[in-house]
Amino acid sequence: MERHGRRLASAMNLRRFFLIAVPYGWLLALFLVPFFIVFKISLSDLALAIPPYTPTMKDGIGQMLSAFDFENFVFLTTDDLYWKAYLSSLQIALISTVLALLVGYPMAYGMARAPEEWRPTLMMLVILPFWTSFLIRVYAWVGILSNEGFLNQFLLWTGVINEPLTIMNTTTAVYIGIVYTYLPFMILPIYAALDRLDESLIEAAEDLGCSRSKAFWLVTVPLSRNGIIAGCFLVFIPALGEFVIPSLLGGSGTLMIGKVLFEEFFNNRDWPVASAVAVILLLILIVPIILFQRNQQRQAESET
């Protein structure tokens, strides 16, 4: 009887081990291993070879370890380009997040207040753009925003402007592109928070002397706070490392670290410096990611 119990316990332990092993294995194979490869390259030196850096494993582990240095990281501090690109990326990501919140909150609010039977349709409309390739959607904006594009054509036709507006290849175009692309990530968590909001709380606030707008600021906004925070991080984190949007819509004046990274890798073929840029970017991103995780966890706890 006791032996049977013990065997059962060990089977349970095995089961638990496999259950935990799957997500950890996933993280190990797809995050930690690539990260260490990139980190290793960032410690190497540029070389005219395939792969274009030295030392490699072929030189033997001991030889390789002794040849590692932080030269590339030091180099990043000497050239203005890099820290300016980081700062500019932070600025663009931050402003885009605020813009996405200003556009996304009213949309989420409207969805949550819409009649019950409309909501699935509205939700569908928010998600629908994901069914088309991201690249094609960004290219479509080139067609809209360029000097001969639909927007200028329309404004010229209506007589609002006489000269075409220069939007394409400016930072404005990058903002439009980022807000457009990441808007669903802002809308969905806020919608989820507002959808759960009990209508009687608003009525209670009004009953206790709040005007409608006061009730919104004192009850609706605080109770959708977790959705707002989640949405902001979901926009800010990918926007910070964004490469496709600034390289397609932004001009030479738009400095973003994702673009610098791409140029180092593919134009300069300087893998070690590019890897160093990537490692620093990751370190910058870790802070908001941890904050985001903590917010999610707190939300999960408050719901139990």
HSE toward the beta carbon, residue 217, CA cutoff 13 A: 4
| Beta carbon nearer to other proteins, 124 or 208 | 208
Q: Does 207 bind other proteins (CB under 8 A)?
A: yes
**Which region among 34-42, 185-193, 197-205, 241-249 touches other proteins (by CB under 8 A)?**
197-205
The minimum distance between CB 101 and other proteins, in angstroms, equals 19
- In the set 77, 133, 162, 200, which binds other proteins (CB under 8 A)? 200
Q: Does 213 bind other proteins (CB under 8 A)?
A: no
The minimum distance between CB 200 and other proteins, in angstroms, equals 4
| Beta carbon nearer to other proteins, 54 or 220 | 220
- In the set 54, 67, 147, 206, which binds other proteins (CB under 8 A)? 206
The maximal CA–CA distance of the chain, rounded, in angstroms, is 91
Burial class (CB in 10 A: 0-12, 13-18, 19+), 96: buried
The minimum distance between CB 223 and other proteins, in angstroms, equals 6
Query: Please, which of residues 139-158 interact with other proteins by CB under 8 A?
Result: none
**Which region among 19-27, 112-120, 148-156, 196-204 touches other proteins (by CB under 8 A)?**
196-204
- 260 close to 81: Cβ distance less than 8 angstroms: yes
| Beta carbon nearer to other proteins, 98 or 204 | 204
- In the set 203, 268, 290, 297, which binds other proteins (CB under 8 A)? 203
Full DSSP string of the chain: -HHHHHHHHHHHHHHHHHHHHHHHHHHIIIIIHHHHHHHHHHTSEE-SSSSSEE--GGG-HHHHHHH--SHHHHHHHHSHHHHHHHHHHHHHHHHHHHHHHHHHHHHHHHHHHS-GGGHHHHHHHHHGGGGS-HHHHHHHHHHHHSTTSHHHHHHHHHTS-SS----TTSHHHHHHHHHHHHHHHHHHHHHHHHHHS-HHHHHHHHHTT--HHHHIIIIIHHHTHHHHHHHHHHHHHHHHT--HHHHHH--TT---HHHHHHIIIIIS--HHHHHHHHHHHHHHHHHHHHHHHHHHHHHHHHH-
Q: Does 208 bind other proteins (CB under 8 A)?
A: yes
| Beta carbon nearer to other proteins, 186 or 215 | 215
Query: Please, which of residues 244-303 interact with other proteins by CB under 8 A?
Result: 302
Please give the Cα distance from 89 to 80 (Å, whole number).
Answer: 14
| Beta carbon nearer to other proteins, 133 or 304 | 304
- In the block, tokens 């089977």 appear at 11
Q: How many residues of this chain bind other proteins (CB under 8 A)?
A: 19
Backbone conformation region of residue 141, classed left if phi is above 0, alpha if psi is from -120 to 50, else beta: alpha
| Beta carbon nearer to other proteins, 126 or 223 | 223
The minimum distance between CB 288 and other proteins, in angstroms, equals 23
**Which region among 112-120, 193-201, 231-239, 240-248 touches other proteins (by CB under 8 A)?**
193-201
- In the set 112, 219, 232, 274, which binds other proteins (CB under 8 A)? 219
**Which region among 67-75, 116-124, 144-152, 210-218 touches other proteins (by CB under 8 A)?**
210-218
**Which region among 37-45, 61-69, 186-194, 204-212 touches other proteins (by CB under 8 A)?**
204-212
Interaction site with other proteins (CB under 8 A): 198, 200-201, 203-211, 214, 218-219, 222-223, 225, 302
